[in-house]
Amino acid sequence: MQILRKTGLKGLEKAKRLGSRGVIRLLKEKKITGRGGAGFPTWKKWKMALNAQADIKYVICNADEGESGTIKDRFILMNNPEAVIEGIMIASYVLNAKESFIYLRGEYSYLKKPLEKVIRKLKVNIRIILGAGAYICGEETAILESIEGKRPHVREKPPYPVEKGLYGKPTLINNVETLADVAIALAFDDYNPELKLFSVAGNVTKPGVYELHSNIKLYDLINMAKPKKKIKAVYFGCFGGCIPYTDIELTTENVCRMGALLGSGTIIAVDESHSIVDVATNIAKFYEFESCGKCTPCREGTNRILELLERISVGKGKLEDIKTIEDIALVMRDTAGCGLGRSASNHILTALKFFRQEFEERVK
């Protein structure tokens, strides 16, 4: 696997030869994009952080991998932590950063010691901050609040973290996979940006992390993971929503065209033995639990959607309830304050788009 190639500080050496501007040019040439889910061009983010005028700058590695079914960052941190840390070192070099952090998901606390060992081995100064188990802390501005010791409420953007981040200073926040990609792309001339990681979960017998070409067809991917029964839908984590099982190339654009979001490449397969109503109720429970509570549509909306779905799933719902769910879901997507809130209704909007019949049957 490309992501497991050992860079041995060759990336950092090359970065020092190229200089800050040279590294950013190379990232642009190699077409590296953020792997956290939004797919923002990495060179653009780095350039903004480099151009920001400030005495102090920070670098943060976002290792708060909280999306349901997503395990790719854990896979990298367990199997090639050196590349991630080298990526952080390169970013710190490019920005001349004062301090750098790894914001590690609370549930991954067992990775803290091994990571610290690597940090010591590479003789760098990187602080590992453990999250406390909140999904919202994967959102970059919530990470900032959390590191500052506050409630992890998202900040209003703009200003973006690259302008005003940790303690008000320009801060570069990148995902684990992105930083590993940076180190590998710098270390090896034959780096292939088309390869990416997919986390596969759900009703398959071989779940796990797959490194595949980004235009892999959905059928091929699912067949590799060997499902037992016929698959009827796939979910892209919780926040990406679902599509019916169709043979499309798994590009961001294709998935988006169907009304869902590919995000960080998580595929949860759902076979015919499961009702989408039950899946939706389960996901709604997740969002109700994980909403941070700051803004109205997400705080109240996730709660009301769960209430209605629970009613429907036990056969006590009414046809109007489906309409009410849709009303709330659309307003959540329109007005919620952060990515979590805006996408927390994707799952139900797409489920109602493709599997409305299942909901209507349940209320009859």
What is the helix (H) or strand (E) element at residue 196, kind and residue range? strand 195-202
Smaller CB separation from another protein, 185 or 306: 306
Q: Is 337 in the site for another protein (CB under 8 A)?
A: yes
Smaller CB separation from another protein, 94 or 336: 336
Smaller CB separation from another protein, 89 or 284: 284
Angle at 341 (CA atoms; ends 33, 235), nearest 5 degrees: 65
Site size for another protein (CB under 8 A): 30
Smaller CB separation from another protein, 102 or 329: 329
How many whole angstroms from its chain centre is CA 309? 26
Q: Is 216 in the site for another protein (CB under 8 A)?
A: no
Judge contact between 137 and 65, C-beta under 8 A: no
Judge contact between 60 and 167, C-beta under 8 A: no
Q: Is 295 in the site for another protein (CB under 8 A)?
A: yes
Torsion of CA 23, 28, 30, 36, to 10 degrees: 100
What lies within 8 Å, CB to CB, of 90 at 6+ separation is: 11, 12, 15, 23, 182, 183, 186
Instruction: Report, in Å, the least distance between residue 270 CB and another protein.
Output: 25
Residue 284 has φ and ψ, to the nearest 5°, of: -60, -35
Interacting residue with another protein among 29, 220, 272, 327 (CB under 8 A): 327
DSSP state letter for 153: P
Taking CB under 8 A as the rule, which mask of x and - marks residues 117-156 in contact with another protein?
-----------------x-x--------------x----x
- Tokens (6 digits) for 306: 């769960």
Smaller CB separation from another protein, 197 or 292: 292
Interacting residue with another protein among 4, 256, 319, 330 (CB under 8 A): 330
Q: Is 288 in the site for another protein (CB under 8 A)?
A: yes
Distance CA 194, CA 249 (A): 13
Smaller CB separation from another protein, 99 or 321: 321
User: Buried (b) or exposed (e) across 214-244, using 16+ Cβ within 10 A?
Assistant: bebebeebbeebebeeebbbbbbbbbbbbbe
* Residue located via tokens 């709660």: 303
Smaller CB separation from another protein, 172 or 284: 284
Distances (CA, A) of 227 to 24, 189, 269: 42, 37, 8
Part of the chain binding another protein (CB under 8 A), chosen from 173-181, 192-200, 268-276, 302-310 = 302-310
Q: Is 294 in the site for another protein (CB under 8 A)?
A: yes
Q: Is 299 in the site for another protein (CB under 8 A)?
A: yes
Instruction: Report, in Å, the least distance between residue 129 CB and another protein.
Output: 19
Interacting residue with another protein among 18, 258, 331, 363 (CB under 8 A): 331
Instruction: Report, in Å, the least distance between residue 254 CB and another protein.
Output: 22
Smaller CB separation from another protein, 230 or 318: 318
Find the binding residues for another protein in span 149-168 (CB under 8 A): 151, 156
Sign of CA dihedral 327, 138, 186, 78: negative
Closest CA to 357 of 233, 200, 185: 233
Binding site for another protein (CB under 8 A): 134, 136, 151, 156, 288-297, 299-304, 307, 324, 327-328, 330-331, 334-337
